[in-house]
Amino acid sequence: MPLVSQKGLNMPESPIRKLVPFAEAAKKRGAKVLHLNIGQPDIKTPQVALDAVKNNDLEVLAYSITEGSETYRTKLAAYYDKNDIHVSPEDIIVTTGGSEALSFVMGSIADAGDEVIIPEPFYANYNGFARGSGVNVVPVISRIEDNFALPPIEEFEKLITTKTKAILICNPGNPTGYLYSNEEIEDLAKMVKKHDLFLVADEVYREFTYDGAEHYSILQEDGLDEHAIIVDSVSKRYSMCGARIGCLVSKNKNLIKTAMKFAQARLSPPTYAQIASEAALETPQSYFDDVKTEYVGRRNLLIEELEKIDGVRVAKPQGAFYCIAELPIADAEDFAQWLLEDFRVDNETVMVAPAGGFYATKGLGKNQIRIAYVLEKESLKRAVNILKEALKSYIG
C-alpha cells in the first residue's frame, strides 16, 4: 500500500476541531451541545456585505487578479489609514483567509529547518503552517499568573540563533485574549531591529479591545517598515468567517514580491467574497460599538461565573473573545471528551477546546481549556453552570 508523507504524519491535529466527532455523536443521541470551542461569532454579518452579493449582476464569475482587486485594496488602505496604519494598495496582497496569508508568510521568510519564535499559548494553526513549510516553532512561555503578558525580552533573546527568522505574535491574542501594550510592541521592535528579524503580527481581532484600551499595530511603530508583516482577515471583524478573505500587509517590497509568487501559484482569491468584503468596509462605527458592548458584557459574565467555581483560575481577556481557564483536573482533553460522551444537565452539555494544543512545550496547558465567549449571555451562563456541575462529578 502506498505510504503518506512523513510531513503529513507530523502535521498536528486541530485542538479546536478534533473533538467534533464526539460532539456530533452527542447531538445524534439528542443532546444539545453549547459550543465554547470555536471562534465562530453569533453576531450578524453586516447587511451591506450580504446585499452586495445578493444584488450583484455578474454574468461571468471570473478570476480576480492575483493580489486581489484594485478597488478592494485601495479601500483597505483607506481603512488602515483610519486606524493610523499608513500603507498603499501595493503593500497589500488579498488572501483566502488569514490562514493563507500566514502560509504565504512562512513560505516567504523561512526555509526548511529555520525557526520562528512564538509566545505560547498560541493559535494552534501556527504550528500547522510552520510544519507545512518545514519551519520549527520555538516557544517562549507566557504564564496565566501574569495574565499571559509578553515574556521578558531576555527570554526571547536566549532563544535567537542563526536559524531564527521571525517573531510571531497575535494581538489581541487567540487563545488568551491578551492585548499587547505600546511598550511591549516597542520592546519587540527594538529586538527585531537589533537581530535583523521579521516581526509578524496577526491582528485579526484589532477592533475587539476592552476597558478603554486601544490596539497598537506593529506598523504604527517607527522604523519597522522592513521588518513588520501584518496578517489580517474579515472573518471576525465582520462576522464573515465563511467568506475566507484575509490579507498580508507589509512595506517590505522584497517580502511582497516573494509572497506574490506563492499567490500566483494559487491563482486568485474568490471573487464574490471580495465583493462582500469590499462592501463590508462601509459598515458604520455603530456596528462595532454595539459588538464591543456585547462582548464586554459576555466577558464580564464569563469571568465572574468562572471565578465562583472552586479551584478554577482564569486570565482576564483585554481583547478578542477568548479566555484561558485553568481547571482542578489533570487532563483537560479527557475531561472535554467526557463532557461530550457522558455528561448532561437537562440534556445539555458543553464543548470546549483543550488548551494543551495551543502550546508547543510538551506537558504545558494540560489542565487548561480555551473558552470562546461567542454565545449570548443566557446560553453562556448555562454553559458555565454545566462546567461547574461537570467538574464536581468528574473529580468525584
| Whether 267 and 291 share a structural domain | no
Report yes or no on 1 lying in a domain: no
| Whether 268 and 315 share a structural domain | no
**Dist. CA 84–CA 219, nearest whole Å:** 9
Question: Range of 346's domain?
Answer: 6-44+286-395
| Whether 139 and 275 share a structural domain | yes
Tens digit of each residue's pLDDT (9 = 90 or more) over 254-290: 999 999 999 999 999 999 999 999 999 999 999 999 9
Backbone angles phi, psi at 281, to 5 degrees: -65, -15
Tens digit of each residue's pLDDT (9 = 90 or more) over 23-51: 999 999 999 999 999 888 889 999 999 99
What pLDDT, on a 0 to 100 scale, did the predictor assign at position 145? 95
Last residue of a domain, one of 244, 260, 280: 280
What pLDDT, on a 0 to 100 scale, did the predictor assign at position 41? 86
CATH number at residue 11: 3.90.1150.10
Number of domains observed in the structure of the chain: 2
| Whether 114 and 162 share a structural domain | yes
Report yes or no on 121 lying in a domain: yes
Tens digit of each residue's pLDDT (9 = 90 or more) over 209-266: 999 999 999 999 999 999 999 999 999 999 999 999 999 999 999 999 999 999 999 9
Tens digit of each residue's pLDDT (9 = 90 or more) over 338-348: 999 999 999 99
| Whether 155 and 245 share a structural domain | yes
Q: In three state form, how does the secondary structure of 310-335 look? A: CCCEECCCCECCEEEEECCCCCHHHH
> Residue 383: which pLDDT band, with cuts at 50, 70 and 90?
very high
| Whether 245 and 299 share a structural domain | no
Report yes or no on 51 lying in a domain: no
| Whether 344 and 246 share a structural domain | no
Percentage of the chain exceeding pLDDT 70: 99
pTM of the model: 0.95
| Whether 40 and 176 share a structural domain | no
CATH number at residue 248: 3.40.640.10
Last residue of a domain, one of 250, 280, 310: 280
| Residue 286, all three cell numbers | 455603530
Last residue of a domain, one of 236, 265, 280: 280
Report yes or no on 49 lying in a domain: no
What pLDDT, on a 0 to 100 scale, did the predictor assign at position 329? 97
